[in-house]
Amino acid sequence: MKAHTKSIRAAHGTKLQTKGWQQEAALRMLMNNLDPDVAERPEDLVVYGGIGKAARNWPAYYAIVESLKNLENDETLLVQSGKPVAVFKSHENAPRVLLANSNLVPAYANWKTFHELDQKGLMMYGQMTAGSWIYIGSQGIVQGTYETFAEVGRQHFNGSLAGTITVTAGLGGMGGAQPLAVTMCGGVCITIEVDETRADRRLATGYLDTKTHSLPDAINQAKQAKEEKRALSIGLIGNAAELLQLMAEQSFVPDVLTDQTSAHDPLNGYLPKGMSLQAGKEMREKDPEALITKAKASMAAHVKAMLKLQEMGAVTFDYGNNIRQVAKDEGVKNAFDFPGFVPAYIRPQFCEGKGPFRWVALSGDPEDIYKTDEVILKEFAENRHLCNWIQMAREKIQFQGLPSRICWLGYGERARFGKIINDMVKSGELKAPVVIGRDHLDSGSVASPNRETESMKDGSDAVADWPILNAMINAVGGATWVSVHHGGGVGMGYSIHAGMVIVADGTDEAEKRLERVLTTDPGMGIVRHADAGYELAKKTARDKNISIPMLDQ
């Protein structure tokens, strides 16, 4: 077995190591996913999200690299759970790579079966963007969080979080985006975090403004900033279950309330109340069952406090960590009285085909991204929310690996921007082709009943035909690589989702492919939501002339 010895970084510039820009893009994005500045544990091929990997093992990684280097412009490479398994003759407008990751027959779709197969070397966990080679570091997370809080502002506070206080918990890998997202929306954020080192990390990277150990101090600072309509984020060191209870007792009611502790994992992700970090660590080793019991009981108290504060007036929602389910299992009958974030805030955007669109400069030159930023500000000037995001992203977010950008664009906007990028590559304004893709968490590409498809209007939460249709139509349209995954984000058995990446290489052929794929991909989101009976999606379909045979039946 060839050992992995040195850091992997994607090539920059215009010199190809492959037989075409599409193959080159796949190769550079695979490598970019494993760049030490981007990936969590590149030495284990782990990109993010627990054990989300870019390739099954090192021999498979090297075989993918070799295959991409040799791949002709009319061939397609097939990848099965991170292992290259075939190269077929296809045609120039076909995808260069097709990937299927972590898929199991439904009756076997659980962690036990997956782990057995993984240990035998027959599978890998693809997460969402890890196994489909379009992870761009934490920029993707910040923007999704920002979109959620921005929508909270629009729905409840006249368009902005300025002059409001949000209380949440968890300053971990993803949760750490919350304070920055809230302040980007103009608000004040108190984030409760039990592990001070996590707060320190967010302070060091500019995601958090200040920290305190005192509840009264946090409340005073927050109230003052609220009064002055000044954006401020405060890390409050302590246990969320305890501190939320205290807030309710002291009648301190935040305007917005949520939680991003790792409640989905009661053993490793959630510290029970009344316990120090050290005591938790010891109990995890000595008596894991007892720790799980305590954590679940604490989560029940935590959700009860959230329900109480909701009753007192806080706009309250679940942030995708399954805390309501645990509380319900513990006997909190009304745990689901507050909604999940997708049905509450994100779904209207999904109904318009809006979702996390992203692009990456294969030149490696940040100037190429800045030029595309400028184009967004000019061409989409009427979309103030979008322009605001681009300006803030430019100012506050550092690039990781190949320079990239993310913003939520909808049906019509994506195809339009794709053409603009392709024209910029064609004219030489950009130094090299650009990769365009998205997270799997998008409008028409995921079935996940506890998250993205929670509480669908027609009860179709668990229907997984949609992401499969999404992948198929994008492949037919000529996306550069297309993937179908299982389990990302919420674990085995709980989701099916599809990825799509397409390259703007400045050619006329790419222009046609971009037009097709950047129309069908968000179009699937509108179709899926129109089919579920959402009026906004039906209206969007009519306004945009999307042909849906049974739209009015």
Q: Which amino acids are annotated catalytic?
A: 407
Considering beta carbons, is residue 83 or 198 the nearer one to ligand NAD? 198
The answer to whether 457 and 368 are in contact (CB under 8 A) is: no
Binders of ligand NAD among residues 411 to 450 (CB under 6 A) are none
Q: x/- binding map, residues 285-324, to ligand NAD, per CB under 6 A?
A: ----------------------------------xxx---
Considering beta carbons, is residue 239 or 363 the nearer one to ligand NAD? 239
Q: Answer yes or no: is 5 a known binding residue.
A: no
Residue with tokens 């129109």: 530
Q: Answer yes or no: is 196 a known binding residue.
A: no
Considering beta carbons, is residue 241 or 496 the nearer one to ligand NAD? 241
In whole angstroms, the minimum distance from the beta carbon of 48 to ligand NAD comes to 9
Considering beta carbons, is residue 241 or 362 the nearer one to ligand NAD? 241
Binders of ligand NAD among residues 194 to 233 (CB under 6 A) are 194-195, 198
In whole angstroms, the minimum distance from the beta carbon of 386 to ligand NAD comes to 20
Distances (CA, A) of 255 to 57, 186, 209, 231, 310: 47, 13, 20, 14, 9
Q: Answer yes or no: is 260 a known binding residue.
A: yes
In whole angstroms, the minimum distance from the beta carbon of 525 to ligand NAD comes to 16
Q: x/- binding map, residues 240-269, to ligand NAD, per CB under 6 A?
A: xx------------------xxxxx----x
Q: x/- binding map, residues 350-389, to ligand NAD, per CB under 6 A?
A: ----------------------------------------
Angle at which helix 277-286 crosses helix 288-311, to 10 degrees, equals: 130
In whole angstroms, the minimum distance from the beta carbon of 197 to ligand NAD comes to 9
Q: Answer yes or no: is 170 a known binding residue.
A: no
Q: What is the DSSP letter of 467?
A: H
Q: x/- binding map, residues 165-184, to ligand NAD, per CB under 6 A?
A: ----xxxxxxx---------
Considering beta carbons, is residue 242 or 368 the nearer one to ligand NAD? 242
Give the pair of three-digit tokens for residue 266: 């009661």
**Helix or strand holding residue 486 (H, E):** strand 481-486
In whole angstroms, the minimum distance from the beta carbon of 295 to ligand NAD comes to 8
Considering beta carbons, is residue 21 or 48 the nearer one to ligand NAD? 48
The answer to whether 210 and 221 are in contact (CB under 8 A) is: yes
331 CB-near residues (< 8 Å, 6+ apart): 300
Q: Answer yes or no: is 239 a known binding residue.
A: yes
240 CB-near residues (< 8 Å, 6+ apart): 169, 170, 192, 194, 259, 261, 302
Which candidate, 49, 52, 64, 51, places its Cα nearest to that of 8?
64
Question: Among the candidate windows 89-97, 105-113, 236-244, 458-466, which touches ligand NAD by CB under 6 A?
Answer: 236-244
In whole angstroms, the minimum distance from the beta carbon of 71 to ligand NAD comes to 34
Q: Answer yes or no: is 235 a known binding residue.
A: no
Which candidate, 320, 209, 313, places its Cα nearest to that of 258?
320
Torsion of CA 231, 233, 239, 245, to 10 degrees: -10
Number of residues that bind ligand NAD (CB under 6 A): 27
**Burial of residue 20 (number of CB atoms within 10 Å: 0-12, 13-18, 19+):** middle
The answer to whether 515 and 434 are in contact (CB under 8 A) is: no
Q: Answer yes or no: is 143 a known binding residue.
A: no
Binders of ligand NAD among residues 443 to 472 (CB under 6 A) are 451
Alpha helices in 380-502 (DSSP H): 384-396, 413-426, 465-477
Which candidate, 79, 67, 69, 76, places its Cα nearest to that of 94?
76
CA 42 from centre of chain = 19
Considering beta carbons, is residue 27 or 271 the nearer one to ligand NAD? 271
Which candidate, 13, 19, 27, 58, places its Cα nearest to that of 501?
27
Give the pair of three-digit tokens for residue 540: 């969007």
In whole angstroms, the minimum distance from the beta carbon of 440 to ligand NAD comes to 11
Considering beta carbons, is residue 300 or 369 the nearer one to ligand NAD? 300
Q: Answer yes or no: is 355 a known binding residue.
A: no
Rounded CA separation 427/418 (Å): 14
Give the pair of three-digit tokens for residue 178: 């919350």
Q: What is the DSSP letter of 379?
A: H
Q: Does residue 239 touch ligand NAD according to CB under 6 A?
A: yes
In whole angstroms, the minimum distance from the beta carbon of 494 to ligand NAD comes to 11
Q: Answer yes or no: is 414 a known binding residue.
A: no
Binders of ligand NAD among residues 130 to 169 (CB under 6 A) are 169
Q: Answer yes or no: is 240 a known binding residue.
A: yes
Binding residues for NAD(+): 49-50, 127, 173-175, 193, 198, 239-240, 260-264, 270-271, 319, 489
Residues at the site binding ligand NAD, with contacts judged by CB under 6 A: 169-175, 192-195, 198, 239-241, 260-264, 269-271, 319-321, 451
